[in-house]
Amino acid sequence: MKPTARAPEISETSVRVNYSETDQMGVVYHARYLVWLDVARTEHLRLAGMSYRELEEAGLRLAVSEVAVRYRRPARYDDRIRIRCWVRDLASRRIDFGYAIEREEDGTLLATACDDRVVRVWSSGLPPVSHA
């Protein structure tokens, strides 16, 4: 029973592969998957009522301590990609996220991933805005 839960336990975020993400093998370059994890985690937090932008402005951040990706099938240019994201484990100063990356068209699982984030505190929030 979770009567107060408002956020989905597994969130879904969509991206479309753009040309800059491909490499000369004709597939998405593997480091780009980490950016998708980042996008999905931000949306997951937003659905849970937390804006990462506001967290940062309040002087907090989630610093990555570990990331692991298992690649199963390539993603290709113009594919729509769905990233499922969930919290695998939660401790006082650490969150462990899980991810599944799928091709939206046919639901093929392209990759699975997880990353460990550590909560950090800044002394004074975000950098000051520059004067033009």
Among 8, 9, 10, 53, binds a copy of itself (CB under 8 A): 53
What is the distance, to the nearest Å, from the Cα of residue 15 to the centroid of all Cα atoms in its chain?
Answer: 11
* Closer residue to a copy of itself in complex, CB, 1/126: 126
Q: Which two tokens stand for residue 55?
A: 């967290």
CB 99 within 8 A of CB 44: no
Structural element, H or E, at residue 45? helix 32-47
Is residue 11 at the binding interface for a copy of itself, with CB under 8 A as the rule?
A: no
How buried is 67 (Cβ within 10 angstroms: 0-12 exposed, 13-18 middle, 19+ buried)? middle
23 is catalytic: yes
Buried b (16+ CB within 10 A) or exposed e, 87-114: beeeeeeebbbbbbbbbeeeeeebbbbb
**Span of 3-11, 61-69, 80-88, 95-103 interacting with a copy of itself by CB under 8 A:** 61-69
* Closer residue to a copy of itself in complex, CB, 42/48: 42
Looking only at the bridges linking them, the beta strands covering 109-121 and 11-16 are unpaired
**Span of 4-12, 36-44, 81-89, 100-108 interacting with a copy of itself by CB under 8 A:** 36-44
Site for a copy of itself in 65-124 (CB under 8 A): 65-71, 77-78, 120-124
* Closer residue to a copy of itself in complex, CB, 63/90: 63
Q: What are the residues binding a copy of itself (CB under 8 A)?
A: 16, 18-20, 22-27, 29-32, 34-35, 38-39, 42, 51-53, 56, 61, 63-71, 77-78, 120-124, 126-132
Residues forming the active site: 23
